[in-house]
Structure 1
Amino acid sequence: MSNTQKKNVPELRFPGFEGEWEEKSISSFLKESKIKGSNGSHAKKLTVKLWGKGVVPKKETFKGSDNTQYYKRKAGQLMYGKLDFLNCAFGIVPDSLNNYESTIDSPSFDFINGDSKFLLERIKLKSFYKKFGDIANGSRKAKRINQDTFLSLPVFAPKYDEQLRIGEFFSKLDRQIELQEQKLELLQQQKKGYMQKIFSQELRFKDENGEDYPDWKEKKLGDITEQSMYGIGASATRFDSKNIYIRITDIDEKSRKLNYQNLTTPDELNNKYKLKRNDILFARTGASTGKSYIHKEEKDIYNYYFAGFLIKFEIDEQNNPLFIYQFTLTSKYNKWVKVMSVRSGQPGINSEEYAKLPLVLPNKLEQQKIAEFLDRFDQQIELEKQKIEILQQQKKGLLQSMFI
């Protein structure tokens, strides 16, 4: 690839391509398709996901109105969501969804010129959908980009051969990301399968002599904890570079790790609420009730304090905290949370109720083997996530450099 400083050319370009890119309207690439389909009660429906995540089958809990007209969408067509233009709702219909249908709120277009992958990547850039989203029609809460407006929007594009080269390049990069995501999904499914077998005792570990460990025993969380306590009722202030305030929103929903992107500091510092390694936190109210976190941070330069909507449990020395935490990631635990959190208002579980959490525990040695086994999965999963993030950041940088 080469760099250039000419007007109307990208910063980064494949060798052998010269000349300025031309400004063209979307209509020079696309033509709207309006093949009438069935009504809302019979249509096999599809939808366009936000943030460029593609076109997928639509999951509905109701059939829809018999009076709603649906239109057939063909594989290879480009679609967008009128109401979610500002949220990058763009995608191309995959072969598997050929002849699926949508309403006029998700129009489709045939390609009449140009490379489909090139155009899709161009309009998925924030510099396109955020800039032109401001001209959307409708109220503030329901802005729409209609088909005529969309087709009139301008983009800069090179000649077809260069479009094709760029499109092929990003298709290969997307395939690399997709394969990495599949690898991650496989690891996650493998861990899930092992957890089901381990916590149902279908799969047991052996001791160093190849003998079975003792039978598991029924306990409650309160039986194996030194103490439990609610967090500090402090306000979050600007991060002071030393003291970290952990609120439920600071814990990543999927990885259950602390998010270091938007750190804050409590306006009150009290060592009583400072976390120690292997402390386990539980969310006690709202939609996050049941969400768990184990404090494994080893960054000694920080102090960690936990907020009032969290409850801390310290596991006693006869048990392995990581084993207990891994149990809180199981479907059995989630079912217990769903039952226990039912309230007349918003969901919630208090410390006394958490203390009644039923557990079936092996001895500490087997707990440790299980915890280490599952933690290795978590470490590998985190590594694969980092690889995906690196690829996505590489793509983001290349998109910014290879388009105008």
Structure 2
Amino acid sequence: MSNKVPQIRFNGYSDAWEERKLIEVADYRNGKAHEKDISEDGYYIVVNSKFVSTNGLVKKYSDEMIAPLSKNEIAFVLSDVPNGRAIARTFLINEDNKYSLNQRIAGITPHADTNSYFLHSLMNRNHYFLRFDNGVSQTNLSKREVEKWVEFYPSYQEQQKIGSFFKQLDDTIALHQRKLDLLKEQKKGYLQKMLPKNGAKVPELRFAGFADAWEDRKLKDVTERVRSNDGRMDLPTLTMSASSGWLDQKDRFSGDISGKEKKNYTLLKKGELSYNHGNSKLAKYGVVFSLTNCEEALVPRVYHSFKALENTSADFIEYMFSTKLPDRELGKLVSSGARMDGLLNINYDDFMNIHISIPNYEEQILVSAFFRKLDETIALHQRKLELLKEQKKGFLQKMFV
């Protein structure tokens, strides 16, 4: 197959694509400084690298329209730190008289015979621009380097078809992202309302048939320590991801350990819990998680591993720790010196003596089942979103030359 045609294309198109420099298909201009005009109450959105790299989620505003951008123009990030994720990202302007172009962001104006969504999709994180990132120093793309970028282009009509296809795909991805974000926000809201706030005896929202006050207990009253390690080397190792307070299973398992390292790990069985007290970067006071998706795994001994006693739900303990309920107790330990080199260093006995609020077993089961089901729904939407993004990557590779 000729290298001047893509692997996949729409019916009715067979002509070879033509090689062109960016300057032949679009006009380039640099943005301007906005620092003196930033205002929380400003009307105009400042298009900077953070705005582009978050697809418009993180915004700064200006009182003045300093460097206006028009609908269907493309904002293109010129500068980023080594190995940064913002360099060469694009944002397609969707509205007139709303966006102002910041310095170190280029404004790309497609010519009349260039489809804006086609160029936006082709230009975004293109491998040509990423080659300028040496992983050591800050990347600063120049006007000349951008304008001489060469790629293959089909007829305007075929560009329109491809641009429309990717716009529909991006809209679908954005819709699934919004659904996922909404579910995560709903979960936060339910956690706040279905577990009592610090000092309260009952939650704001609870299942019908339950009216008793929740009990104040020490963690050691409802759990006990897990110390076992049978020396096996064929088990997955649980490690913590700093990406969020909630961990995906793919973040937990990272391979086997060698024989001489086995003494540094604890064997955790399904339904048992572990608390990573040694890394404050994961969350304010660490993360409690339970083993749910496999029968056995190994965790580093630096984690405090424990299991729920009879009439206590391990799932409930995990969800309880995902709220701010234990913060007051853990905060006391941190302020009393349980921190070394910026990391938490809470010993096991102190951890087990923290106070928690807990209902009867039946209510624990209902609350934890509710959140487990919600987590499963979130995970399902997350997988759908990841699949769509992977599909887009495949189409980008096969529908462009």
Q: Could you tell me the TM-score, scaled by structure 2's length?
A: 0.81
| Aligned equivalent of 2:18, options 22, 35, 53 | 22
Deviation at 1:123, TM superposition (A): 2.0
Q: Distance in 1 between matches of 2:107 and 2:253?
A: 38
Residue number in structure 2 paired with 1:79: 75
Does the 8 Å contact 1:48/1:54 carry over to 2? no
| Residues 55, 362 of structure 1: alpha-carbon distance in 2 compared, 3 angstrom cutoff | closer
* Cα pair distance change 1:36/1:17, threshold 3 Å: same
Would you say 1:91 and 2:90 are equivalent positions? yes
Amino acid at match of 2:160: L
The equivalent position to 2:344 in structure 1, one of 341, 344, 348, is 348
Q: 1:56 to 1:320 in 2, by over 3 A?
A: closer
Would the alpha carbon gap of residues 365 and 21 (structure 1) be closer, same or farther in structure 2, given more than 3 Å must change? Answer: same
- Give 1:279 deviation, angstroms: 1.4
| Pair 1:204-2:210 in alignment | no
Report what 2:392 is aligned to: 395
Counterpart amino acid of residue 369 in structure 1: L
Cα distance in 1, alignment partners of residues 128 and 313 from structure 2: 52
Residue 373 of structure 1 aligns to which amino acid in structure 2? F
Is 2:111 the partner of 1:112?
yes
TM-fit CA distance, 1:319: 0.7
- Paired with 1:146 and 1:199, the residues of 2 have a C-alpha distance of 54
Query: Does the alignment pair 1:373 with 2:374?
Result: no
Structure 1 vs Structure 2 CA RMSD: 3.4
In 2, Cα distance between equivalents of 1:184 and 1:129: 31
Structure-2 separation of matches of 1:32 and 1:227: 64
Contact in 2 for aligned 1:290/1:349 (Cα 8 Å): no
Stretch of structure 1 that moved more, 275-284 or 265-274: 265-274
Q: Structure 2 matches for 1:22-41, cutoff 5 A? A: 22-33=18-29, 39-41=35-37
TM-score by length of 1: 0.81
Aligned letter for 2:276? A
The residue number in structure 1 matching 2:199 is none
What secondary structure is seen at the aligned counterpart in 2 of 1:376? helix
Aligned to 2:5: 9
Q: CA deviation at 1:275?
A: 0.6
Distance 1:251 1:181 in 2: 17
Relative to structure 1, the CA distance from residue 280 to residue 112 in structure 2 (aligned partners, 3 Å threshold; closer, same or farther) is same
Please tell me whether the aligned partners of residues 52 and 89 of structure 2 are also in contact (alpha carbons under 8 angstroms).
yes
Q: CA deviation at 1:309?
A: 3.2
Q: Work out the CA distance in 1 between the residues paired with 2:193 and 2:105.
A: 44
Q: 1:264 Cα shift? A: 3.6
- Match of 2:80, SS state, is helix
CA deviations 1:282-334 (Å, max 9, x no partner) are 11123225122211133x5xx51111332212221121010010112214445
| Equivalent in the alignment of 2:318 | 325
Q: 1:54 maps to which residue?
A: 55
- Letter in structure 2 aligned against 1:48: S
Residue 33 of structure 1 contacts residue 109 of structure 1 at CA under 8 Å; is this kept in 2?
yes
Change (3 A) 1:331 1:158: farther
Task: Tell me the alpha carbon deviations over residues 120-170 of structure 1, each in whole angstroms, 9 at most, x when there is no partner.
Answer: 211225533334x26x8xx94122111221011101110111011000001
Shift of 1:186: 2.1
Question: Residue 344 of structure 2: SS of its match in structure 1?
Answer: coil
- Which residue number in structure 2 is paired with residue 183 of structure 1? 179
- 8 Å CA contact 1:78–1:110 kept in 2: the answer is yes
How many angstroms apart in 2 are the aligned matches of 1:174 and 1:155? 22
Give the conservation status (yes or no) of the 8 Å contact 1:40–1:70: no
1:160-219 deviations in Å (ceiling 9; x for gaps): 11011000001111111111122222222222222211102111223xxxx335321011
- Alignment CA distance shift 1:70-1:347 (3 Å): farther
Unaligned runs of 5+ in 2: 40-44, 197-202
* Equivalent residues, number: 375
The amino acid across from 1:244 in the alignment is P
Match of 2:122 in 1: 122
- In structure 2, relative to structure 1, the CA distance for the partners of 1:172 and 1:292 (3 Å cut) is same
Whether 1:383 aligns to 2:385 is no
Aligned to 1:45: 46
The letter for the 1-side match of 2:239 is: R
Instruction: Answer yes or no: is the 8 Å Cα contact 2:48–2:102 preserved in 1.
Output: no
The residue aligned with 2:200 is none
Unpaired runs of 5+ residues, structure 1, are: 64-68
3-state SS of paired residue (1:282): strand
CA distance in 1, matches of 2:99, 2:358: 50
Q: Is the contact made by 1:74 and 1:93 (CA closer than 8 Å) also made in structure 2?
A: no
CA distance in 2, matches of 1:82, 1:115: 22
Amino acid at match of 2:355: P
Contact 2:273 2:314 (8 Å CA) reproduced: yes
Q: Give, in whole Å, the separation in 1 of the partners of 2:274 and 2:322.
A: 13
**In structure 2, how many angstroms separate the alpha carbons of the residues matched to 1:260 and 1:344?**
25
- 1:248 — aligned with what? 240
Matches within 5 A, 1:288-303: 288=282, 289-298=285-294, 300=295, 303=296
Is the 1:279–1:314 contact (alpha carbons within 8 Å) kept by the matching residues of 2?
A: yes
- 3-state SS, counterpart of residue 204 of structure 2: coil
The 2-side partners of 1:112 and 1:224 are apart by 69
1:173 maps onto 2:169 in alignment? yes
**Greater CA deviation, 156-165 or 173-182?**
173-182
Are the structure 2 counterparts of residues 52 and 115 from structure 1 closer, same or farther at C-alpha, using a change threshold of 3 Å? farther
Distance in 1 (alpha carbons) for counterparts of 2:290 and 2:147: 51
The code of the aligned residue for 2:303 comes to L
